[in-house]
Amino acid sequence: MKFYDREEELKILENIYSQTDEYGKMTVVTGRRRIGKTLLVKNFAKDKKHLYLFISKKSENLLCSEFIDQIREFTNEKVFGEIKNFAQVFEMLLIYAKKKRIVLIIDEFQEFYNINRSVYSEIQNLWDKYKFESKINVIFIGSIYSLMTKIFQNDKEPLFGRADRILYIKPFRVKVIKEILTDNAAYSKENLFHHYLVTGGSPRYEELLINNKCFTFETMLDLIFSKDSPFLYEGKNYLIEEFGRDYGIYFSIIELISQSKTSRSEIESILEKSIGGYLEKLENEYDVIASVKPFGSKKNSRAQKYYIKDNFLKFWFRFVFKHASVIENGNFEYIKNVVRRDISVYSGKILENLFIDLLADSGEYGMIGNYWEKGNLNEIDVVCLNEIDKNIMFAEVKLSGKRFDKAVLERKSTELRKKYQDYSYKYQFLSLDSIEDYLR
């Protein structure tokens, strides 16, 4: 699959690189796994003198031995003495960058947290010593979001405040998924929606589907639920490193959210356990879930629900993790039938999210969200507000183009309209057939 999108991120990286004529710059590139961080940085650096170092799970001594051969070839200079720690490698490259402008890419940088945490303070000391002499753009890439956040944004860590820019890479927008499908002569509203439903715009998952010619929902199911499928253990591989030994309780919480148990009280009643601390970590430390309050509610409102941010993880917990024993037995046809049976109910919320993404991408609205009242009464799928033009759109979202009852939506919005009395109101029905209207 060709390289798509990322024009804004490439522009930022180019701008940072242009400043290294004066002194060194440090950039952090992070985000969820499979989001294309490494591909983005390599694409940026391809026409520049650059060195790529991957921090694998091995001893610091072995890593340095591996890197020295790369450095000899990169600098075309001799390396004297035995190099056993990464600080020596880093200093060597900072000194080399006094003579030539370079890009140094260090991938899976968070692995030093397990290999040798003192590397971070050693890098801080060397950076402070050489930054204003070296023409270097150091780019640290990390796939364990919680650790990268801790390393660079925790004020108790040595590298806090050292990064000139921290880029958080997001999934492809809906328009990019359409472009990918169009390039493969496979675009339809249904295919677009189902790719969004499964991948959420993750470049790696899109690449797997496209390379295997999986454009329709049925061909996607055939790939996902098959022997040795790359998707079957992906959710577990994705998160176990993040969660560590507590992964069991985190997995249970995420599974329940994937089954529409979206309030803390619902989850706690099932698990019979207080989960406030776990929810906070899942949201703020691991970036797996997000909390949402009813549209227009006060910041201190206790009414809130939780949702899984990544569509693939949502799908994986709902249909793969939940049926792990059946999958272990290789009964894939049974699981595919379960998905076919449940997908229409499951898809409703996904379609809401797709329209929220499209509406946000339009730039027309300053605030977009869901609305509900106590007891989940008067739920409105999508509410959009434009403070500049003083208008609000209330939308009902359904997969099929069934008959729209505007009066029902007007009634549901009664209390909310009282908060925005000087606004004009629009009532809209959104379905799969409406997607094209927002993809222009």
Taking alpha carbons only, the member of 395, 407, 389 closest to residue 438 is: 395
**pLDDT tens per residue, range 166-225:** 999 999 999 999 999 999 999 999 999 999 999 999 999 999 999 999 999 999 999 999
Residue with tokens 């499908």: 181
- Cβ-based neighbours of 401, under 8 Å, separated by 6 or more: 429, 431, 432, 433
pLDDT at 403 over 80: no
Determine the topology of domain 234-329 in CATH: Arc Repressor Mutant, subunit A (1.10.10)
Query: What pLDDT shows up at residue 237?
Result: 84
Kindly report the three-state secondary structure assignment for every residue of 89-140: HHHHHHHHCCCCCEEEEEECHHHHHHHCCHHHHHHHHHHHHHCCCCCEEEEE
Residue of 323 and 237 predicted with greater confidence: 323
Name 289's bridge partners.
308
Spacing of C-alpha 345 from chain mean position: 24
**pLDDT tens per residue, range 275-290:** 999 999 999 889 899 9
Residue 106 token pair: 């260090």
E-state strands within 312-374: 367-373
Query: What pLDDT shows up at residue 289?
Result: 95
- Cβ-based neighbours of 133, under 8 Å, separated by 6 or more: 23, 24, 94, 98
pLDDT band at 32 (very low <50, low <70, confident <90, very high): confident
**pLDDT tens per residue, range 343-365:** 999 999 999 999 999 999 999 99
For the chain, the domains span: 7-168, 174-224, 234-329, 361-438
Domain 361-438 matching CATH 3.30.160: the answer reads no
Same fold, 7-168 and 234-329: no
Determine the topology of domain 7-168 in CATH: Rossmann fold (3.40.50)
Whole-angstrom Cα distance, residue 380 to residue 237?
Answer: 36
Query: What pLDDT shows up at residue 199?
Result: 96
**Helix (H) / strand (E) containing 233:** none
How does strand 165-168 pair with strand 136-141? Answer: unpaired
How much is the mean pLDDT over the chain?
93
**pLDDT tens per residue, range 146-174:** 899 999 999 999 999 999 999 999 999 99
